[in-house]
Amino acid sequence: MAEGRGDGACESVDVVVLGAGPAGLTLGNVLIDAGIDCVILERTSRRQVQTRTRAGFLAENTVRILERHGLADGLRRRGREHSRCEFRTEDGRFALDYAGLGRGERHTVYPQQELVSDLLACFLAAGGRIRFETEASAVLDADTDRPRVLVRDRDGRPDRWRARYVAGCDGRHGAARNSLPPGAVRRHHSDHGLSWLGLLAEAPPSMPAVAYAVHGRGFAGHMARTAEVTRYYVQCERGTSAESWSEDRIWDELALRMRTADYGPLNQGRVIQRGIVDLESDVLEPLRHGSLFLAGDAASLLSPSAAKGANLAVLEAEILGQALIADLLRGDSAGLERYSDQCLSVIWRAQEFSHWMIRLLHDVPGPDSSFQHALRRSRLASLRTSRSRQNWFAENYVGV
């Protein structure tokens, strides 16, 4: 419902959703399907939203959530099931067929930009409202039952929205986090002191499995995306510029670390995207301040070693969406009261596995580096030989 436009006026909705990533778009679809009046505010353009390349491994629970809300048609048509990962180490290589371990679950490989495009199309087809190139600058009055969101539109003009609730799905540097008053939440943060050069190469996958290579020169990873495009990661020094590595250096380093002399060459192609990833972990607690709720990267950040980010975002969006529906349609606020604790229990389990994966794949620098190196080799040996360890790995690798 519009309360007017111009200086001193606001547009009013039940829920303002900040951010059009997996969390914001999943939440928007859940809300609009229930008849909740909502709007999504996204600071970038539609083209940028639909071309951002991020994670591409969806857990079975994530697929079930999307199916439950009629949002899985695209991934069911174009996604590819994936159930094997390989480790290449100084002590040889081994593979785990994790679909036959743990809970017997597998991943669906579906690039995030395609998932986001699907979610956006569903939202718009259902009559959803989204404002692109509209940057939220602040969430005000979050400790009341009528919070306000200050924004600037694509022409730089100021505007305001008023809502019953605001869902902050706009990332770790977005307005939702930045609007939290001092002392409202506690931030748990860990910088692991490690960096990766992330690459997308115009080359078919070189193997059916995800491959994790542990090498004295640093970690390297191979992750299939599509039949024509592969993602690679190469550990690099903190502070490295993504452009400082030539393509020849990239392929030489990947070949060395992935031990292609022993296990066969990599399919090479033009590097079409590159960027630096600093491995950090970050959690806010609680995930609520009054009428403002956090989800996705605004709630927590994990290293990509665990492939959990988009999966957590979709799960949190469904939990929050159902809680908002119960409150707005039936006056039942119990789900909103439980939201933070319910999500944090899953987030911390994912963080624990992410931390374990970081220690599995890297030699962490420090005064006890030789001790840590020996522990890492022991972890890999245990994963190679112990069925109980393999079951634990599979349950946490795919589970959310």
Q: Which two tokens stand for residue 75?
A: 């991934």
Choose, from 110, 304, 339, 362, the residue flagged as catalytic. Answer: 304
Whether residue 116 contacts residue 42, with contact meaning beta carbons closer than 8 Å, is answered with no
Choose, from 107, 222, 308, 362, the residue flagged as catalytic. Answer: 308
**How far is residue 306's CA from residue 352's CA, in Å, rounded to a whole number?**
10
Respond yes or no: is residue 82 known to be catalytic: yes
**How far is residue 281's CA from residue 304's CA, in Å, rounded to a whole number?**
10
Q: Using omega within 30 degrees of 0 as the cis cutoff, is the peptide bond preceding 365 cis?
A: no
Choose, from 212, 232, 233, 339, the residue flagged as catalytic. Answer: 212
C-alpha distances out from residue 52 to 45, 224, 232, 309, Å: 11, 17, 16, 14
Residue whose structure tokens are 């679909």: 99
Whether residue 227 contacts residue 102, with contact meaning beta carbons closer than 8 Å, is answered with no
Whether residue 218 contacts residue 234, with contact meaning beta carbons closer than 8 Å, is answered with yes
Respond yes or no: is residue 397 known to be catalytic: yes
**How far is residue 398's CA from residue 307's CA, in Å, rounded to a whole number?**
9
Choose, from 22, 82, 147, 165, the residue flagged as catalytic. Answer: 82
Respond yes or no: is residue 212 known to be catalytic: yes
Residues 6+ apart with CB under 8 A from 209: 84, 85, 86, 95
**How far is residue 157's CA from residue 153's CA, in Å, rounded to a whole number?**
5
Respond yes or no: is residue 308 known to be catalytic: yes
Respond yes or no: is residue 222 known to be catalytic: no
Phi, psi of 234 (to 5 degrees): -135, 120
What is the rounded (10 degree) CA torsion for 85, 196, 116, 65? 40
**How far is residue 191's CA from residue 238's CA, in Å, rounded to a whole number?**
11
What is the rounded (10 degree) CA torsion for 34, 23, 78, 254? -170
Q: How many CB atoms lie within 10 A of CB 207?
A: 17
DSSP helix/strand/coil, 266: coil
Choose, from 98, 110, 339, 397, the residue flagged as catalytic. Answer: 397
Q: Which residues are catalytic?
A: 82, 212, 304, 308, 397
